[in-house]
A and B are shown apart, each in its own frame.
Chain A
Amino acid sequence: AQKVTQAQTEISVVEKEDVTLDCVYETRDTTYYLFWYKQPPSGELVFLIRRNSFDEQNEISGRYSWNFQKSTSSFNFTITASQVVDSAVYFCALSEGGANNDMRFGAGTRLTVKP
């Protein structure tokens, strides 16, 4: 069965600090997909990134970067030079891409960036 663990419930940083959000997953499939979503106070889940299990290349998008390591079943998310607007709950999710394509979400990490 698929499972996603986000061990950090809450993180608080001061603006301009770098912060890493951890995500550990479990799956028996060799083909799977990992996602990160951002949920700001408004409540809408905003898609950030999708990664399939065959692509371990790390990705950088502006201040955001993702580190995917199959050996440790981790898909961590780093925000560089954090800003107040980064304050939100961040969810990591796993899809095994089966017939139904449903996603299993972690419990989320609440990030607060203080000015």
Chain B
Amino acid sequence: DTGVSQDPRHKITKRGQNVTFRCDPISEHNRLYWYRQTLGQGPEFLTYFQNEAQLEKSRLLSDRFSAERPKGSFSTLEIQRTEQGDSAMYLCASSLGGRGDTQYFGPGTRLTVL
């Protein structure tokens, strides 16, 4: 399978706990994006990487959120001290890196904070 993969697919946690999600992009893609999608809404941009450099962060990304892409390959998104409002689907996408190029999405990680 050469698509974008995400792990885990589902995560249930208690409020206040930390969680970490992983995304493996399509191998030749330089750009990697994180989005959040809540029920009944379209995905909302969180942050993106060009290789290992994090180049943009949305205002949605509070200081409890941190993302890394240490070797320009896979990426992790960590949420510290989770809140019930963090419950959402977290989507990862990757693209080759050209202007306006197509982003290919992974299956997402559904987070439920109790």
* Residues of A participating in the B interface, judged by any CB pair closer than 8 Å: 4, 31-33, 35, 37, 42-47, 50, 52, 91, 93, 95-97, 99-108
Contact = CB atoms under 8 A, between A and B. Distances in A.
A67 B105 CA distance: 24
B100 A97 contact: yes
A100 B31 CA distance: 9
Contact of A44 (B40, B41, B55, B106): B106
A50 to B, nearest CB: 5
B100 A100 contact: no
A100 B56 contact: yes
25 contacts: A31-B100, A33-B100, A37-B105, A42-B107, A43-B110, A44-B105, A45-B43, A45-B93, A45-B105, A47-B103, A91-B42, A95-B100, A96-B100, A100-B48, A100-B55, A101-B31, A102-B58, A103-B43, A103-B103, A105-B43, A107-B41, A107-B42, A108-B40, A108-B41, A108-B42
A47 B104 contact: yes
B45 interface: yes
A59 B91 CA distance: 28
Nearest to B4: A44
Interface residues of B, number: 27
A97 B102 CA distance: 10
A93 B42 contact: yes
B105 A103 contact: no
A108 B37 CA distance: 11
Given A99-B55, A102-B56, A106-B42, A45 B91 contact: yes
A4 B45 CA distance: 14
Nearest to A45: B105
Given A45-B93, A97-B99, 19 more contacts: A35-B102, A37-B105, A44-B106, A45-B91, A47-B105, A50-B102, A91-B42, A96-B100, A99-B56, A100-B56, A101-B48, A101-B100, A101-B103, A102-B48, A103-B45, A103-B103, A105-B43, A106-B42, A108-B40
